Amino acid sequence: QSFKLLGFLDVKSVPCARESVLYGSLGSFVVGLGYFLATSRVRRSCDFAVGGFISTMLGYWFYCRYNLAQQRIRQRMLKEGMRNRILFEGSALDPERKQTGSERSDS
């Protein structure tokens, strides 16, 4: 069973969506309660809670997506490096292979 936020954001399948909503709700609670304890104004603290939810959710969304993109780039580079290692292992192009004197003069 999938949960769609606002009818279009599938929280279960979209990366970072679940964590963003959870951190947003926590941020909403903290900001709203903090403002209420500071001023005792209920309506205004609800406004701040909504603002806290939006800002915390969007902030964590961008942070998480940035880290996810970096992780995918590192995985792609590692996969390419492993493919090259398998391809060049044992050949003259292998960077870890020790070259002898006769091989150095040939190249």
User: Which residue's structure tokens are 């792609």?
Assistant: 76
pLDDT (0 to 100) of residue 27: 95
pLDDT reported for residue 89: 73
Picking from 6-15, 18-27, 75-84, which range would have the lowest pLDDT averaged per residue?
6-15
pLDDT at 29 over 90: yes
For helices 17-39 and 42-88, the axis angle rounded to 10 degrees is 150
* CA–CA dist 84, 50 (Å, integer): 51
105, containing H or E segment: helix 101-106
User: In the predicted model, is pLDDT for residue 105 greater than 70?
Assistant: no
Q: How far apart are CA 83 and CA 42, in angstroms?
A: 60
Q: What is the pLDDT of residues 31-85, one digit of tens each?
A: 999 999 999 999 999 999 999 999 999 999 999 999 999 999 999 999 988 887 7
